[in-house]
Amino acid sequence: MPLPELFLQELKLRNDLAEIASSYVHLKRSGKNLVGLCPFHNEKSPSFHIYTENNTFYCFGCGAGGDVITFVRRIENLDYWEAVRFLADHAGLTMPENTMDDGMAKLKARVLEINREAARFFHAQLWTPEGKPALDYLLGRGLTVKTVRHFGLGYSQDSRFALVNHLQKKGYTSYEMIQSNVAVESRSGKAVDRFFSRVMFPIIDLRGNVVGFGGRTLTDSKPKYLNTSDTLAFKKSNGLFALNFAKNNHQEPLILVEGYMDVIALHQAGFSSAIATLGTALTSEQARLIARYAKEVVISYDSDEAGQKAANRAIPLLRDAGLQVKVLAIEGGKDPDEFIRSFGEQGATRFKQLIEASGNDMEYRLNQLKKTCAMDTPEGKVAYLNGAAELLAALDNRMEQEIYAGRLAEEVGIERAAILQQVNKNQKKFTASRQKREFREMQQQISGMKDRVNPEKQKYLRAANAEEGLLACLFRLQDQKLAQQIYQELPPEKFCTVFNRRVYETIMGRMMSGGGCELADISGDFSVEEISAISRILAKFDMLALSIQDAQEYRDLILQEFQKLRAEQLETVQPELQQYLQKLREQKK
């Protein structure tokens, strides 16, 4: 059921996009619009634009765009109805009744209910005789009962039907369980437990919902850790374990560790700002999420080779998100949990000393580089300096480059100017490579190549551009009389591309019935990617003074292209038709 028109208009009126976005993005005035660094991808030059006249946004870097509802959907990882509710709560509006009948929204709500019930079931199992091995394991790792309860830890029985049977009694279907990924479909078609004989770690999002689980085996079975796959309620690349607790700790940097047990041990030791990724390497989405709650992050990965590689991959992502980065080095190959336990009552104090003594990410990377070079030979020193110059070239801050170039000059015994010269050469190379890539992407966008939303654009480029121009006119002019006139002369079936035809039908349907035709009015009819495509069209024509005459000229051009396409199709069909008729004549003879 669509939202009532009056509610939708009130929702738009009370939720200014610039105000909502400013909670996530630092915006600056640029003429009549606002610009800032895009919150949806890593960038160093602002390409995120908010168009204040029509309350829309578009990023020229990654192509994200839309209205205030779409912005909330993207930034908070919500579906359409959840985003509307989010904005309604923000504006103090009451959601209309009978609007939450969207099938996917209902299924997502059921998935969240199943996760919550599963978390309760797993936690209860921990205190049964069957759960004693799991409880012994947790207590043996130094956790207290209070900590176990705080994180809602649990146990999945050594059975393939314990949770499934429990959930069936609660009224949940096999399909719903499989969609939540607490169950999988067996070869016989039955739902069976995904997690069994494992210590269970519930994953909780920022709104307090249980969205997934991590499970650690108590046997030698593989994998050691099993995580919920992506579902309607869960996406591994977007979430962080324990951020629901850590986000409230505003005074300290966030501590990024590798595993669930590291996080829990640190929280128990008083470091409640510890977080971890969800069984994957750090992603740019997670880095930007961290930047929303902290200015500084301390990486405390395992000190083995795998941990060092993971730290090196994470550093540029965190830097690009605008974070100050430090890297903590734990000697002896210990992880944070092992380190704290090894010092007993002094563990927390010793770990705090490690944090205070930790160097920043550049010092860490230079030290890592230095370990790979034979510094007692001229060749090793050259390799070290060349590698260091590449690292410095990636820095945005010139003063930072100057400082590290000075340190390197003293360390190796050469002129700082020589190092800076190599840094500048690398920067020019990086800039040329980036510009070439951006030009290639721009050419592909203009020609319609790689347009996933409107793949027909490349084939019907002239028609598609005219269709986009007409759509921009209809959005900009908001002229019902003009819309009626154009619709009579240009029915939807004369659009060459299916996507533009669908947008045309949607906005014409609203305008002909007297409804609004802003992006927020139709965002419920399109996916996030489709709304971004429409936003790109509006952004492309933002600087042009569109008029009724422009709309009429675009209409005429679309009609011309349609006639041209039909003529080409007839030319193709005629020879085939002639051949068919000739065969009929020969058969009669």
Rg of the chain in Å (alpha carbons): 29
Above 70 in pLDDT, residue 540?
yes
Q: Tell me what pLDDT residue 84 has.
A: 92
Q: Which residues constitute the domain of residue 495?
A: 455-572
Q: Tell me what pLDDT residue 320 has.
A: 86
Above 80 in pLDDT, residue 576?
no
Mean pLDDT, residues 398-426 taken together = 93
Q: Tell me what pLDDT residue 440 has.
A: 66
Both tokens of residue 476? 């900009």
464 shares a domain with 379: no
Give the CATH number of the domain where residue 210 resides. Answer: 3.90.980.10
301 shares a domain with 198: no
Q: Tell me what pLDDT residue 226 has.
A: 94
Reduced to 3 states (helix: H, G, I; strand: E, B; else coil), residue 440 is helix
Q: Tell me what pLDDT residue 569 has.
A: 74
Asked which of 168, 194, 227 is the last residue of a domain, the reply is 227
- 450 or 120: whose pLDDT is higher? 120
- CA 337, CA 214: separation in Å to the nearest integer? 18
302 shares a domain with 281: yes
The pLDDT tens digits of the residues spanning 55-104 come to 999 999 899 999 999 999 999 888 888 899 999 999 999 988 765 556 77
207 shares a domain with 248: no
- CA 269, CA 337: separation in Å to the nearest integer? 10
The pLDDT tens digits of the residues spanning 305-362 come to 888 889 999 999 999 888 999 999 887 667 888 889 888 889 899 999 999 888 899 9
461 shares a domain with 516: yes
Above 80 in pLDDT, residue 483?
yes
In a domain, 589, yes or no: no
Query: Closest Cα to residue 16, out of 57, 63, 48?
Result: 57
Above 90 in pLDDT, residue 588?
no
- CA 504, CA 463: separation in Å to the nearest integer? 14
220 shares a domain with 113: yes
Query: Closest Cα to residue 54, out of 577, 516, 367, 382?
Result: 516
Mean pLDDT, residues 473-494 taken together = 93
In a domain, 248, yes or no: yes
pLDDT-wise least confident of 408-417, 430-439, 528-537: 430-439
The secondary element (H helix, E strand) that includes residue 145 is: helix 145-150
In a domain, 141, yes or no: yes
175 shares a domain with 108: yes
Above 90 in pLDDT, residue 178?
yes
Both tokens of residue 175? 């399909």
Contact 33, 59 (CB under 8 A): no
pLDDT band at 118 (very low <50, low <70, confident <90, very high): very high
Mean pLDDT, residues 217-241 taken together = 91
151 shares a domain with 219: yes
Give the CATH number of the domain where residue 519 resides. Answer: 1.10.860.10
User: Mean of the per-residue pLDDT values for the chain?
Assistant: 90
pLDDT band at 246 (very low <50, low <70, confident <90, very high): very high
pLDDT-wise least confident of 240-244, 403-407, 409-413, 570-574: 570-574
Above 80 in pLDDT, residue 525?
yes
Q: Tell me what pLDDT residue 29 has.
A: 94
Q: Tell me what pLDDT residue 447 has.
A: 54
In a domain, 450, yes or no: no
The β-bridge partners of 324 are 296
Reduced to 3 states (helix: H, G, I; strand: E, B; else coil), residue 478 is coil
Mean pLDDT, residues 138-153 taken together = 96
pLDDT-wise least confident of 122-136, 195-209, 447-461: 447-461
In a domain, 232, yes or no: no
The β-bridge partners of 159 are none
The pLDDT tens digits of the residues spanning 28-56 come to 999 999 999 999 988 878 999 999 988 99
Asked which of 445, 468, 496 is the last residue of a domain, the reply is 445
415 shares a domain with 440: yes
Above 90 in pLDDT, residue 550?
yes
In a domain, 381, yes or no: yes
480 shares a domain with 401: no
Asked which of 330, 346, 366 is the last residue of a domain, the reply is 366
141 shares a domain with 63: no
In a domain, 25, yes or no: yes
249 shares a domain with 362: yes
pLDDT-wise least confident of 157-161, 268-272, 326-330, 332-336: 332-336
Q: Tell me what pLDDT residue 438 has.
A: 61
Total of domains in the chain: 5
In a domain, 587, yes or no: no
pLDDT band at 448 (very low <50, low <70, confident <90, very high): low
The secondary element (H helix, E strand) that includes residue 406 is: helix 398-412
DSSP state of 241: B
Q: What angle do CA 334, 274, 368 make, to 5 degrees?
A: 45
